[in-house]
A and B are shown apart, each in its own frame.
Chain A
Amino acid sequence: MSELSGMNRPSKVRAPRVNDETKSFWDATGDGKLLVKHCNGCGENHFYPRSFCPFCFSDDTEYLETVGRGTIYTYSVMRRTKEPWAIAYVTLDEGPTMMTNLIDCDFDKLEIGQPVKVAFIDTGEGTAVPFFAPA
């Protein structure tokens, strides 16, 4: 664990509203796994996960486990608040770019292109939310 672990980390995270289409994704987060959707029709990966491939509209899609690593595509630190937070898009090694927050880091040292890894925060309800921290 880095010395920055715990820095700028939210104290609690609300459990996401899970539905039939995304239950597998959220169940996997409880096991520390970050999934994307893979299309058997066109071979593309997509995020957020859905039953239909948003590229070729095939309904032959399945979950793919990622390595949980990526790079910062962009970010913005909300400063006008007592507890600033860093919203970001992270481009996963598997292709898709996803929204997240950057945690366990110094907000003044973030850079676009910086390598990051997933850092799950437990919701207390069997699921976890995929935040990212410097790799």
Chain B
Amino acid sequence: MSIRGKAFIAGVYEHPLREATGKTVPQLHAEVAKGALEDAGLTKDDIDAYYCAGDVPGLGPLNQAEYMGLHVTQFDSTEVGGSSYVAHVNHAAQAIAMGHCKVALITLAGRPRADAKENYRTRPGGGPPADYAFEAPFRPVVTNMYGMAAMRHMHEYGTTSEQLAWVKVAASHHAQYNEHAMLRDVVTVEDVVNSPMISDPLHRLDCCVMSDGGGAVIVVAPEIAAQLKRPSVKVLGAGEAIKHLNGGKVDLTYSGARWSGPKAFAEAGVTPADIKYASIYDSFTITVVETLEDLGFCAKGEGGKFVADGNLISGVGKLPFNTDGGGLCNNHPTDRGGITKVIEAVRQVRGEAHPKVQVPNCNIALAHGTGGLLGSRMGSATLILGGADA
């Protein structure tokens, strides 16, 4: 398989200005996007993939996708200077050839000359994203941004603090067997709800740990995998999505997993019922509840009931999750633990998790990452992995 003949460039636009006084960087990105769409004869809503580099303000593609009102299920913010956009065409062509998207937008824009004249601080990324001035005064920090999501989920669906606590309880049951876990003591629902309130309604034990460390993953071609002595794990399917505040049509009761999950399941040709083990990004207990609903492990609003009574504990419940102890008990390296989610899923499929938490015959596993904030904008990514027979 190659990209040859599988993807076409349908529209282009070069901005006419050479000094963009009076315009912002997000605005310039939107102007070139609009120009290229008009050249192609497409509309904004045709776009299902967005590629950008470090000249876009904010966290990867998240803030600019929100500015432009994009709803994309494929993205890439590879930053390699001026070569970024050429690489983006390759990455977009690969994604299109694989059927992951149909219309990919790539943008570059900036205003270093105007910035210099107006005495703005000039740096890659063009300063703060457009949302910054409308949020920073209100002191959004990680805990209160997830707290607002939890508060709304409780309001709409009757989710309780005790139900959220079960996520932490399950993680602690797993962490007791992990010699590297930061928190190895098994906790109870009472321990969680009686721990100090951090930001309503999230208690201290609803929050993940902060840790150093990290991880790495090596992905290889089938012919390489066949030559290696260690058990290889098959990539069955993947999906990704960006979710944001949508111009003020705010709904904090779901995450981008609502879109990334179905894409991954469709590509893998499996359903949530086939998943034997799930690594679910657990920055907070509420993150797990919303993600499980969005991935289809239960109906929207039923996540609280789903996680209760040990349903996430390996050997006890129906969906063993985060058997390394997860972010809630094990680690959350450099405040972004996504790679550890992949690593524990690989251990499970290899049959190399701790014997006390290993899922028998774990031939299909899922790993899900949430990046950014449940309370505003996030990137969501779902991966489905399988063993040799999957």
Contacts and interface: CB of A to CB of B under 8 A. Distances in A.
B388 to A, nearest CB: 46
A26 B133 CA distance: 10
Given A21-B23, A112-B151, A98 B248 contact: yes
A75 interface: yes
Interface string A10-25: 0001101111111000
Interface in B16-54: 21-24, 26-27, 30, 34, 37, 43-44
A-side interface size class: 35 or more
B152 interface: yes
A57 B46 CA distance: 12
B69 interface: yes
Interface string B110-153: 00000000000000000110111111111111011101111110
A14 B137 contact: yes
Contacts of B128: 17
Given A77-B199, A96-B247, A21 B155 contact: no
Contacts of B245: 97
B250 interface: yes
A83 to B, nearest CB: 11
A88 B133 CA distance: 16
B199 A51 contact: no
Interface string A22-58: 1000100000000010000000111110111111110
B248 A19 contact: no
B67 interface: yes
A63 interface: no
A64 interface: no
Interface string A51-77: 111111101000000000000011111
Contact of A17 (B133, B152, B155, B248): B133
A78 B200 CA distance: 7
A99 interface: yes
B68 interface: yes
B-side interface size class: 35 or more
Given A20-B23, A50-B67, A75-B148, A59 B34 contact: yes
A79 interface: yes
A56 B68 CA distance: 9
B133 A80 contact: no
A27 B177 CA distance: 59
A79 B199 contact: yes
A47 B135 CA distance: 11
B140 A85 contact: no
B141 to A, nearest CB: 7
B130 A50 contact: yes
Contact of B131 (A26, A48, A96, A112): A48
B30 A87 contact: no
By CB atoms of chain B within 10 A, which of A44, A78, A87 has the most? A87
A77 B148 CA distance: 9
A95 to B, nearest CB: 7
A35 B172 CA distance: 48
Given A50-B67, A56-B44, A76-B151, A45 B138 contact: no
A48 B199 contact: no
B198 interface: yes
B44 A57 contact: yes
A89 B22 CA distance: 30
B155 A74 contact: yes
A129 B137 CA distance: 7
Contact of A57 (B27, B69, B144, B145): B69
A86 to B, nearest CB: 8
Interface of A: 13-14, 16-22, 26, 36, 44-48, 50-57, 59, 73-80, 85, 87-89, 91, 95-101, 112, 129
Interface of B: 21-24, 26-27, 30, 34, 37, 43-44, 66-69, 127-128, 130-141, 143-145, 147-152, 155, 196-202, 245-250, 252, 376
Which 3 pairs from chain A and chain B are nearest by CB?
Answer: A96-B248, A54-B69, A76-B147
11 contacts: A13-B137, A18-B133, A20-B23, A48-B131, A74-B149, A76-B200, A78-B199, A79-B200, A87-B140, A87-B144, A112-B155
Given A52-B68, A59-B34, 17 more contacts: A19-B133, A20-B22, A50-B26, A52-B27, A57-B34, A57-B43, A57-B68, A75-B200, A77-B199, A78-B147, A78-B199, A80-B143, A87-B140, A98-B248, A99-B135, A99-B138, A112-B151
